[in-house]
Amino acid sequence: MTRSVPTTPETVRQQAAESAAKRRKRARSAPIRWRRRTLLGLYLVFVMLPIYWLLNLSFQTNSEILGSFSFWPQNFTLGNYVGIFTDANWYMGYVNSLAYVLMNMLISISVALPAAYAFSRFRFIGDKHLFFWLLTNLMAPPAVFLLPYFQLYYSVGLFDTHIAVALAHCLFNIPLAIWILEGFMSSVPKEVDETAYIDGYSFPRFFVTIFIPMIRSGIGVTLFFLFMFSWVELLLSRTLTATNAQPIASIMTRTSTASGIDWGTLAAAGVLTILPGIVVVYFVRNHIAKGFALGRT
Partner 1 sequence: MNKVYNNKAWFLILPMLLLVAFSAIIPLMTVVNYSVQDVFDANTRFFTGTEWFETMLNNPTLQAALLRQFAFSFTILAIQVPLGIGIALLMPKRGWQASAVLILITLPLLIPWNVVGSIWQLFTRGDIGLMGVGIRQLGYAYNITRNPADAWATIILMDVWHWTPLIALLCYSGLRSIPDAYYQAARIDRASKWAVFRYIQLPKLTNVLVIGILLRFMHSFMIYAEPFVLTGGGPGSSTTFLSQSLTTMAIGQQDLGPSAAFSLIYFLIILLVCWVFYTAIMNMQKDNANQGGA
By CB under 8 A, what part of segment 162-191 binds partner 1? Answer: 167-168, 170-171, 174-175, 178, 186, 190
Could you give the CA distance from residue 99 to residue 90 in angstroms, rounded to a whole number?
Answer: 15
**Binding residue (CB under 8 A) for partner 1 from 25, 28, 121, 205:** 121
- Given the rule CB under 8 A, which of 6-14, 72-80, 83-91, 117-125 is the region that contacts partner 1? 117-125
- Given the rule CB under 8 A, which of 5-13, 53-61, 82-90, 210-218 is the region that contacts partner 1? 53-61
When computed from its CA atoms, the radius of gyration of the chain, rounded to whole angstroms, is: 26
Site for partner 1 in 242-281 (CB under 8 A): 248-249, 252-253, 263, 266-267, 269-270, 273-274, 276-278, 280-281
The minimum distance between CB 259 and partner 1, in angstroms, equals: 16
Q: Using DSSP bridges, classify how beta strands 256-257 and 260-261 pair: parallel, antiparallel or unpaired.
A: antiparallel
- Closer Cβ to partner 1, 92 or 235, answer by number: 235
- Closer Cβ to partner 1, 12 or 42, answer by number: 42
Torsion of CA 263, 269, 271, 273, to 10 degrees: -150
The minimum distance between CB 9 and partner 1, in angstroms, equals: 19
- Given the rule CB under 8 A, which of 3-11, 62-70, 74-82, 83-91 is the region that contacts partner 1? 62-70
Give, rounded to a whole angstrom, the gap between the first and last alpha carbons of the chain. Answer: 42
Contacts of 200 (CB under 8 A, 6+ apart): none
Based on the shown chain and the rule CB under 8 A, indicate whether residue 92 belongs to the binding site for partner 1. no
The minimum distance between CB 65 and partner 1, in angstroms, equals: 5
Q: In the beta sheet, which residues pair with residue 260?
A: 257
**Binding residue (CB under 8 A) for partner 1 from 51, 82, 208, 242:** 51
Based on the shown chain and the rule CB under 8 A, indicate whether residue 111 belongs to the binding site for partner 1. yes
- Given the rule CB under 8 A, which of 72-80, 88-96, 128-136, 209-217 is the region that contacts partner 1? 128-136
**Binding residue (CB under 8 A) for partner 1 from 16, 192, 214, 289:** 289
- Closer Cβ to partner 1, 99 or 249, answer by number: 249
Site for partner 1 in 184-243 (CB under 8 A): 186, 190, 228, 231-235, 239
Could you give the CA distance from residue 102 to residue 106 in angstroms, rounded to a whole number?
Answer: 6
Could you give the CA distance from residue 37 to residue 27 in angstroms, rounded to a whole number?
Answer: 16
Could you give the CA distance from residue 6 to residue 4 in angstroms, rounded to a whole number?
Answer: 6
CA distances from 120 to 89, 137, 184, 205 (A): 45, 19, 9, 18
**Binding residue (CB under 8 A) for partner 1 from 16, 17, 49, 106:** 49
Q: In the beta sheet, which residues pair with residue 261?
A: 256
**Binding residue (CB under 8 A) for partner 1 from 59, 90, 117, 206:** 117
The minimum distance between CB 91 and partner 1, in angstroms, equals: 16
Single out the residue of 94, 95, 98 nearest to residue 106, CA to CA.
98
Contacts of 103 (CB under 8 A, 6+ apart): 162, 163, 166
Question: What is the DSSP-derived secondary structure letter of residue 209?
Answer: I
User: Do 227 and 155 form a contact (C-beta atoms < 8 A)?
Assistant: no
Based on the shown chain and the rule CB under 8 A, indicate whether residue 124 belongs to the binding site for partner 1. yes
